[in-house]
């Protein structure tokens, strides 16, 4: 694998991450409702899902095709329902100091939510199913090349989607008065619920 191939993959990842979609919307909602740190954990879940699809693409297109069958449908429903659940909790939450155990549970929920959003989203599946076989010789790929691509997935996702979340957090800090905070939580929660419903009913 040469630098040109890595550059092609890098550009593809930037477009995938920068294009507003359910992953970006859900991440920004996390940033608005729970803060920048929580959104980074959520992005970590997105990245884990991306890496899973990348590794499946290395195994072969047939593996991804099977995943897009009944298992994909089940994961999509679970992911959608889970986002709706997070959205309802966000709307119900009032501005208060969270306990350490609550923060830990929130971290687990954020990571799981990000993973389920990616696993239930056909966009990354189509991306990895199309670009990986087109630019990578699966029979000759080396372990260091796999590591390099995983690093690109990790870095681009956190930098690009993290930038969206940081800007959302900065905007939120301007409206940190309590009356605005409840409205922000309501908007963020409704966004998560909308994304969850979209995932459940989206075809393909």
Q: Got the DSSP string for 67-81? A: HTTHHHHHHHHHHHH
The span from the CA of 110 to the CA of 46, in Å, is: 10
Q: What is the pLDDT of residues 71-126, one digit of tens each?
A: 667 766 777 787 787 778 767 765 444 444 444 556 788 898 889 888 877 778 77
The span from the CA of 190 to the CA of 183, in Å, is: 11
Q: Report yes or no: 76 and 199 within 8 Å, Cβ to Cβ.
A: yes
What pLDDT sits at residue 95?
47
Q: What is the pLDDT of residues 38-50, one digit of tens each?
A: 999 999 999 999 9
Is the overall model pTM greater than 0.85, yes or no? Answer: no
What pLDDT sits at residue 143?
86
58 or 102, higher pLDDT: 58
Alpha helices in 35-93 (DSSP H): 36-59, 61-67, 70-92
């Amino acid at each position: 694998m040469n630098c040109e191939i890595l550059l092609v993959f890098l550009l593809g990842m930037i477009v995938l991450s920068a294009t507003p979609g359910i992953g970006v919307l859900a991440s920004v909602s996390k940033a608005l409702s729970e803060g920048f740190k929580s959104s980074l954990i959520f992005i970590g879940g997105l990245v884990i899902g991306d890496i899973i699809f990348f590794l499946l693409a290395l195994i072969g297109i047939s593996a991804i095709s099977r995943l897009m069958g009944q298992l994909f449908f089940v994961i999509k429903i679970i992911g959608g329902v889970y986002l709706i659940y997070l959205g309802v909790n966000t709307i119900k939450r009032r501005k208060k100091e969270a306990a350490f155990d609550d923060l830990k549970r929130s971290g687990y929920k954020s990571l799981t939510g990000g993973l389920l959003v990616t696993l239930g989203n056909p966009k990354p599946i189509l991306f990895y199913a199309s670009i990986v076989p087109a630019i990578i010789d699966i029979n000759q790929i080396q372990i260091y090349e796999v590591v390099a691509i995983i690093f690109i997935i990790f870095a681009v996702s956190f930098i690009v989607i993290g930038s969206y979340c940081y800007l959302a957090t900065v905007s939120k800090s301007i409206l940190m008065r309590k009356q605005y905070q409840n409205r922000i939580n309501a908007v963020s929660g409704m966004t998560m619920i909308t994304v969850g419903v979209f995932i459940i009913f989206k075809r393909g």
